Amino acid sequence: AKSAGKAQFARYSSELQQQAQRQLELQNALAQACSCGELRLVYQPICRLDQGQPVLMGVEALLRWQHDGREISPLEFIPCLEESGEILAVGDWVLRQACTQVRAWQLAGQTQLRCSVNLSSRQLQQGDFAARVADVLRETGLPAASLVLEITESQLMQDSAQNLACLRELASLGVQLALDDFGTGYSSLGYLKRFPLHIIKVDKSFIAGTPQDAESLAISRAIIGLGHSLGLTVVAEGVEQQAQIDFLGREGCLYAQGYWFSRPRSPDDLQRLFSGEDCF
């Protein structure tokens, strides 16, 4: 048993080593990616559901990294960027790029289009983050009310006093704040009371089970009801089927995002959707 344990340990530590190695490689490559233009944004539509047919309300900017001919998932490289601190520079770039793009679409006729951007808690922990956001809004001309900043519960948890101060400043700019992946973190309910939030996004893991799975259905229904009774806007994430839209309609959930409407698209692709050459 002892030698089996040893072998297992050896295997475990070599796995750890490989992981560390991979992490290092990614970090080196990322440092270059930022300067070589390997990072780009795609945009996923967020729709309003109560108008007979889905109406485009906004887009969520999602980061993509094309490296050595393949696309690396943000779930894999964002933690690396957070670890190395590069998320600050990349996050600034994402914010500025997304606001510039959405402002251009607004001026081209999508006057009501909103721009959602994901934040990392490291960004909120910069003392001057709200001032940076104000600068970007001024420089790009995007109205504060058109910007939605998305943050997850687990990120809010990390330094809640600093985060609270920062979110209050952002809210006072007129920016909308969304709690992302709602229901997957801890003590979600406390956050709803404590932080100045405007929107909750029902995590796609719950929506995925609707309308067949009784538990997913009960949880999604409860989150939608809770959000509405607190006066929040509720957005369902990860909508992939008509039956889920029907369910959301019955629950009075007005906003949704997911592959059913559109995958995340390049700016050019989305442009085609706007000009009617392409439809949902």
Q: Which residues bind ligand C2E (CB under 6 A)?
A: 44, 62-63, 73-75, 78, 94, 118-120, 150, 180-181, 204, 238-240, 258-259, 264
Pick the binder of Ca ion from 86, 153, 180, 251 (CB under 5 A). Answer: 180
With CB under 5 to 8 Å by kind, the binding choice for 264 among ligand C2E, Ca ion, none is ligand C2E
Q: What is the token pair recorded at 42?
A: 């795609």
Task: Rule CB under 5 A: say whether 181 interacts with Ca ion.
Answer: yes
CB of 64 or CB of 194, closer to ligand C2E: 64
Q: For the CB of residue 1, give the shortest distance to Ca ion in the complex, in Å.
A: 41
The residue sitting closest to ligand C2E, measured at its beta carbon, is 258
Q: Which stretch binds Ca ion (CB under 5 A): 90-98, 136-144, 147-155, 248-256?
A: 147-155
With CB under 5 to 8 Å by kind, the binding choice for 221 among ligand C2E, Ca ion, none is none
CB of 80 or CB of 224, closer to ligand C2E: 80
Task: Rule CB under 5 A: say whether 118 interacts with Ca ion.
Answer: yes
Q: Which stretch binds Ca ion (CB under 5 A): 36-44, 144-152, 214-222, 260-268?
A: 144-152
With CB under 5 to 8 Å by kind, the binding choice for 258 among Ca ion, ligand C2E, none is ligand C2E
Q: How far apart are CA 100 and CA 98, in angstroms?
A: 5
Burial of 253 (0-12, 13-18, 19+ CB in 10 A): buried
Q: Which of residues 38-77 bind Ca ion (CB under 5 A)?
A: none
CB of 61 or CB of 88, closer to Ca ion: 61
Three-class SS of the chain: CHHHHHHHHHHHHHHHHHHHHHHHHHHHHHHHHHHHCCEEEEEEEEEECCCCCCEEEEEEEEEEEEECCEEECHHHHHHHHHHHCCHHHHHHHHHHHHHHHHHHHHHCCCCCCEEEEECCHHHHCCCCHHHHHHHHHHHHCCCHHHEEEEEEHHHHHHCHHHHHHHHHHHHHHCCEEEEEEECCCCCHHHHHHHCCCCEEEECHHHHCCCCCCHHHHHHHHHHHHHHHHCCCEEEECCCCCHHHHHHHHHHCCCEECCCCCCCCECHHHHHHHHCCCCCC
With CB under 5 to 8 Å by kind, the binding choice for 122 among Ca ion, ligand C2E, none is none
CB of 11 or CB of 234, closer to Ca ion: 234
Q: For the CB of residue 218, give the shortest distance to ligand C2E in the complex, in Å.
A: 21
Task: Rule CB under 5 A: say whether 153 interacts with Ca ion.
Answer: no
* Interacting residue ranges for Ca ion, rule: CB under 5 A: 118, 150, 180-181, 237
